[in-house]
A and B are shown apart, each in its own frame.
Chain A
Amino acid sequence: MTGDYGALGRALLPEGVLVATALVVILCDLVWGRGRGRESRVQASVLLGLLGLVAACVILWQEGVLGEVGSGALNLDFLAVAVRVGVVVLSGFSLLTLVGGNTRSQPAEYVALLLFATVGFLQMAAAQTLLLAFLGLELASLSLYVLAGYDRTRPESAEAALKYYLQGGVSAAVLLFGFSLLYGLTGSIGFREISLVLVSNPPGALGAVAVGMVLVAFGYKVAVAPFHLWAPDVYQGAPTSSAALIASASKLAGVALFWRLLWSGLGPTSGGVNLSSSGPGGWVLVVAVMAAASLLLGNLVALAQRNLRRLLAYSAIGHAGGLALGLLAAGEVGPGPLFYYAATYGLATVGIFGCIALTERETSCATLEDLAGLWRRSPLVAACLAVFVLSLAGIPPLAGFFGKFVVFAAALRIDGLGHPAGWVALLAIVMSMVSLYYYLIVLKQAWLVVPPTPPRRMAVPLVASLALVAAAAGLVVLGVFPSILLGLF
């Protein structure tokens, strides 16, 4: 038992670094920041937080695949490491949006909470028992609730946080109930043991209820219809960098967690990937339905949005359908396409929020019309925005196109149109054509429309512009050389 502590300590080192950094940030702000200007306190906190994230990233990279640790509680396999690096990077970009953004009070606590949320994501990426899955989810969620409501001056922020919290709380309760049933059915909380029992003992009606409850939580976390309702309100009301974190890193971690839970834990109840033998059934069918609903709903409603953030939220719901599809396909081809899709999607989204954060420093950036003339205000921001939006739209050769391509191809490879996933992939292709319409509206506003009043050039901090360019370049490079990510799997 004691021999295990060493391995455990090594495995948890990144988390330890992040927690320590969070505490240092708060302490530093208390001691050093007293009486200093807000801007310098923000910069110091962000810098420290970034250092912690970079250190965590380096440690994760150095350690590599450690296998199972903590008596099988965590499984640091390849996917876990990839996702952990991914969420740390995305959290870093979210943190950087704070630099350009309209700065808020008590930056140290904000940064600390963001780091705590990242710890939660790290747990989610590696959890291999129901207990750690639940705890990781709750740690991330609780931090995100507070981050969403962090702006105490705006009622929208509080409202968004409360809605996020309420749906999250109900989903967590439902998930816990489902977990308790799984424990009762299998007598165990480890994914692998659950899977072993489920293979030999069909779980029956109680199992169906338990799986359904897990799916509710999955729908909530990834914003898949019909459990998506929180998303538009939260995207709109939450502070920009919180929304960025919720839209990117949180989603990637959620996808990883539920991939592991659903396939390596509840795999026997999936109804089988190859349905040709047994006919459709199990949760694969239900996830396919949810994915189709998301694709339809997200993309159609996004067409009607005038508010930029709500538009992003509905487009995110559409993409959640794509992620759910990737989750299905992962049973056949492994999690590679899913991870690629989620990671590049997160990068593009966090980039767009970065652009929004920079824009709203000087003017409001709420409706689409507020983007008018962005290319005059800052060609750099407008160019980066174009890359991010086109990537989301799936225009080759950006990473977004490739993400869609691998996921759709994987979904069709299961059994062509003989499998529900094939039909959903077809729908996703159609919807990606529809989505182009509203993405182009965004770009038209930013690039073509001339605003009524002559715009002023906006000041873009060097760090923020570097971050934007890095994210945009990442999307281009990953799109042209997808094997950088896919070759890993």
Chain B
Amino acid sequence: MSLAFLALALVCVVTASAAMISRNLIHSALLLVLTWIGLAGLYLWAGADFVGFSQAIVYVGGVSMVVLFAVLLTRRQRDEPLVLIPEAGVGRVVAGLAATFWVAALLVPAMVVAPLVQRAGPGPTLTVKRIGELLAGPHLVAVLVVGVILTVSLIGALYLAAPVTAEDQPEWDNGGTGRDRGNQEEPS
């Protein structure tokens, strides 16, 4: 058991917890970037170099940027003192933590007692060339599907995030929010 692992694990847990507790959205996002870096470090430590670099590039370089964009775009006013998250009510916090507790109570013992076979000695190595062969061979279908997924997310995200234009208005207005009706209880 290496010290490096413990250190990285500590970084991940601490930053992730802090990110999830912080009341400032920007702080949370930045702390989470640290978590991602920590995870990338763990991958490197385990010998999965390529995955580690991918994690760093995609998350630290990509996802975090998208998050920051979203944070900035959803500020109410330009001069708003950075996005403070409203307090969750006590009930919500307690109910949410209770639910999490039950899941943890299920998962943690199962993980700890699992009788797993472990490989002795040094871990496997995986070269980039081998990854390339795998992607072009047995996992070719998956590569194609991921391509489509990325296309979908590109089209979808651009469409959804774009501002509403005049073209969006329906030609026939049938009372817009009409679908809200019928939720109310009938008088009984």
Is there any pair of Cβ atoms, one from A and one from B, under 8 angstroms apart in the complex? yes
Interface residues of A (CB under 8 A from B): 1, 5, 8, 12, 15, 19, 26, 38-39, 70-74, 102-106, 109, 112-113, 116, 119-120, 123, 131-132, 135-136, 138-139, 142-143, 145-146, 149-156, 161, 184-185, 204-206, 208-209, 212, 236-237, 305-310, 360-368
- A105–B115 Cα gap in the complex (Å)? 56
Cα distance A126–B176 in the bound complex, in angstroms: 40
Across the interface, do B174 and A360 meet the contact criterion of CB distance under 8 Å? yes
30 A–B contacts, CB within 8 A, in A order: A15-B144, A38-B167, A70-B141, A102-B171, A102-B172, A102-B174, A106-B159, A119-B145, A120-B148, A123-B141, A132-B145, A135-B149, A139-B145, A139-B149, A150-B159, A152-B160, A153-B170, A154-B176, A155-B177, A185-B116, A209-B106, A237-B179, A305-B182, A306-B182, A307-B179, A309-B179, A362-B174, A364-B174, A364-B175, A366-B180
- Asked if B149 and A71 make an inter-chain contact with CB atoms under 8 angstroms apart, the answer reads no
- Report yes or no: A204 in contact with B178, Cβ–Cβ below 8 A: no
Question: B183 interface residue, CB < 8 Å from A?
Answer: yes
Flag whether B17 is at the interface (Cβ < 8 A). Answer: no
Residues of chain A within 8 A (CB-CB) of B175 are 364
A466 to chain B, nearest CB (A): 22
Please name all residues of chain B whose beta carbon is closer than 8 Å to the beta carbon of A361 when the two chains form the complex: 172, 174
Please choose the segment from B3-11, B26-34, B37-45, B132-140 that sits at the chain A interface, where 4 or more of its residues have CB less than 8 A away.
Answer: B132-140
Q: How far is the CA of A366 from the CA of B110 in the complex (A)?
A: 47
B182 contact from A74, A208, A366, Cβ within 8 A: A366
B contact residues vs A (CB 8 Å cutoff): 106-107, 109-111, 113-116, 137-142, 144-146, 148-149, 151-153, 155-156, 159-160, 164-165, 167-172, 174-184, 186
CA distance A236 to B174 in the complex (A): 15
Instruction: Kindly provide the distance from the CB of B59 to the nearest chain A CB, expressed in whole angstroms.
Output: 15
Is the Cβ of B164 less than 8 Å from the Cβ of A116? no
- Choose among A103, A146, A209, A360 the residue that contacts B152 (Cβ–Cβ < 8 A): A146
If A38-B171, A103-B171, A368-B182 touch, does A8 touch B114 (CB 8 Å cutoff)?
no
Min CB–CB distance A194 → chain B (angstroms): 15
Alpha-carbon gap, A362 to B174, bound state (A) = 7
Chain A's nearest CB lies how many Å from the CB of B168? 4
Contact of B115 with A204 in the complex, beta carbons under 8 Å: yes
B164 touches A184 (CB 8 A): no
Tell me, in angstroms, the Cα distance from A92 to B177 when the chains sit together: 28
| B residues in contact with A39, CB < 8 Å | 171
A142 in contact with B156 given A8-B140, A119-B148 (CB within 8 Å): yes
Interface pair B168/A105, CB less than 8 Å apart:
yes
Measured between C-beta atoms, what is the minimum distance from A39 to chain B in Å? 8
Bound CA–CA A135/B186 (angstroms):
44
Most buried by A among B110, B116, B156: B156
Q: A8-B140, A360-B174 are in contact. Are A104 and B182 (CB under 8 A)?
A: no
